[in-house]
Structure formats: structure tokens, C-alpha cells
Amino acid sequence: MNDIKMLVLDIDGTIFKKDYTASERVKQTLKSLVKKGIKVVLCTGRMYAATKQIAKELELDTPVISYQGGLVKNFLNDEKTLFEKTMDEDLSLDVIKELKKRNIFFNLYINDELLVEHDSILIQQYVDARNIKYRIVGNCENLNLKGMNKILAIDDDVNLIENLQKEMAQRYKDKLYVIRSTPRFCEFSNPEATKGNAVRFLADMWGIKKEEIMACGDQDNDIEMLLAAGVKVAMGNATEDLKKIADYITDSVDNDGVVKAVEKFIRI
């Protein structure tokens, strides 16, 4: 058993199943950890507006990490921003033009507002699953792009998204963080907006050492998060790349893999 003081959790595919709900067993386990004084932190690519709803539902009391680490914010009381890294405006415009040229649908997140150029079944499915609102703005190239949290490209063709990520990561090397957060999603953000940087920021703020941190995730965008932790846990449904760097591979999200990992590594 490790003396874990901070548990960092991805949401989708880690604590949330395909139906975007956490099991009662997961909820009760997290409540027990909070009562014990362990910092339970949500760390997700989701926007802050969506993440804070989940943190409230799970009765957490710690700041949440959203936008792949681009925003760390208190969701209780003052809603104070603790850490924020937004995208360069010129680079944002370049990404928008590139995605339009390729006819790939995309979401923009500016100052935690979800914007799209035009309506689509893709955006409707996206917001319905996450209980958030969006605004249709027409040509995004005319917008004030200051405060861009991230740009998200969406396509049902997973090979297209995989190739897009590889190509764009090379194109914007050292300028932007380009990562797949699900097989259908390719995300663009500030190069310092990584889950790992956000985890280290909170750990430093609380005086918690790396070996006192446990992290659980399932996708490639969780690699940086796991590398910031002393105990690295990949879900049974995780990508092969994430499993390669994990200390432990737990059960799948459908079988409450997070609970099993907690029982193995944390005294409750």
C-alpha cells in the first residue's frame, strides 16, 4: 500500500462509461477518499463548464483540471482561475484555416464558451452527451480569437483523425500540443497545456511529492498525466501506448477498474 495523497482521474473511459455515467461503486469510493482527506482531482480534455458539473455531482472539493491541462480552476466558492494557458491567436487562425481546407468539422473553445461555424449532427451529439450549450457563429476567421482554450477536430473516420494528429503534431511541433483524446477527436492547445503540467502545478501548490500521486487514464492524452504520478494506472480499455508506460493495468471502466486500482494502492 502506498501513502497516496492525491488521486488524479481522467473522466471519459476512466470513471465515466460509454453512457457518460459513473457507477454507484465508483461514486462511493471517491466519497470515501475525500472523507479520508485525499485530494481527488478530475483531469480532462472537457471544457470547464462541463467538468464542474461532474465535480459537483461526485461531491469533490478540489480544483478541476480541464482543457488537457490548459485551465486549473476552483469550481467551489470563488471559481478562481489558478493556472491558464491559452493558444496563440495567429496559430489558432492557422489551425482553423487548415481544418476548413480539409473539410473537417471542428469546435472552438474561447473563454470557456463552445462555438461552431455551422450546425451539425456531430455537435448535437457532442453537447447532448455532455449537457452543455453551444453557439453558431458563422465564419470563425472573423472572430476575436483571444482566450482560445482549445480547438477540437471531430470525425467519425478514426483513421482520418489518427493521420491528422500525426501530421498536425509535426506541422506545429514545439508550437502547439496536438493530441488525440478519443479515436474520433484531435485536439489543439497551448504547448504548455498538458495534463502533466497541471498535475505538477497542483502538487507543488499542495506540497505533494510525485511518489504520493496516483493517476488513472485510458487515452493517449493521459500519457503526460501518468508520467507526472508516482503510481501510473492504465484502464483495461486503455490505448496500447498508455498501457506501455503504466505501472499497473486495472480492469475496464465497465468493470469499475478505478475502484479496483484504488483498493490495490490506497488504504481506505
Q: Which of 128, 163, 189 is the last residue of a domain?
A: 189
Residue 95 burial (10 A CB sphere; 0-12, 13-18, 19+): buried
How far is it, in rounded angstroms, from Cα 15 to Cα 142? 38
Q: Are 185 and 148 within one domain? A: yes
**Which residues in the chain belong to E strands, given as ranges?**
6-9, 39-42, 64-66, 71-73, 81-84, 105-110, 113-116, 135-136, 148-154, 177-182, 185-189, 213-217, 231-234, 248-249
Residues 231 and 261 in one domain: yes
Whether residue 98 is found in the same domain as residue 184 = yes
Whether residues 93 and 176 share a domain: the answer is yes
Q: Is the pLDDT of residue 205 over 90?
A: yes
Domain boundaries, position 100: 89-189
> What angle do the packed helices 158-171 and 89-101 form, to 10 degrees?
140
Which of 189, 209, 229 is the C-terminal boundary of a domain? 189
Instruction: State whether 107 and 126 are in the same domain.
Output: yes
Residue 1 placed within a domain: no
- The CATH number that applies at residue 107 is 3.30.1240.10
First to last CA, the chain: 10
Same domain, 199 and 79: yes
Q: Is the predicted pLDDT of residue 128 greater than 80, yes or no? A: no
Taking only the tens place, the pLDDT of each residue in 53-106 is 999 999 999 999 999 999 999 998 899 999 999 999 999 999 999 999 999 999
Name the DSSP class of 110. E
Looking at the structure of the chain, the number of domains it has is: 2
Residue 20: inside a domain, yes or no? yes
* Per-residue pLDDT at 268: 76
Same domain, 115 and 203: no
More confident residue, 103 or 126: 103
Query: Cα(102)–Cα(94) distance, rounded to whole angstroms?
Result: 13
Does 78 lie in the same domain as 205?
yes
pLDDT value at 200 more than 90? yes
Q: What percent of the chain has pLDDT over 90?
A: 89
Q: Specify the CATH number for the domain of residue 13.
A: 3.40.50.1000
Is 229 part of a structural domain of the chain?
yes
Contacts of 36 (CB under 8 A, 6+ apart): 268
Same domain, 234 and 173: no
Looking at 126, 154, 189, which one is the last position of a domain?
189
Q: Looking at the domain assignment, is residue 120 inside a domain?
A: yes
pTM: 0.92
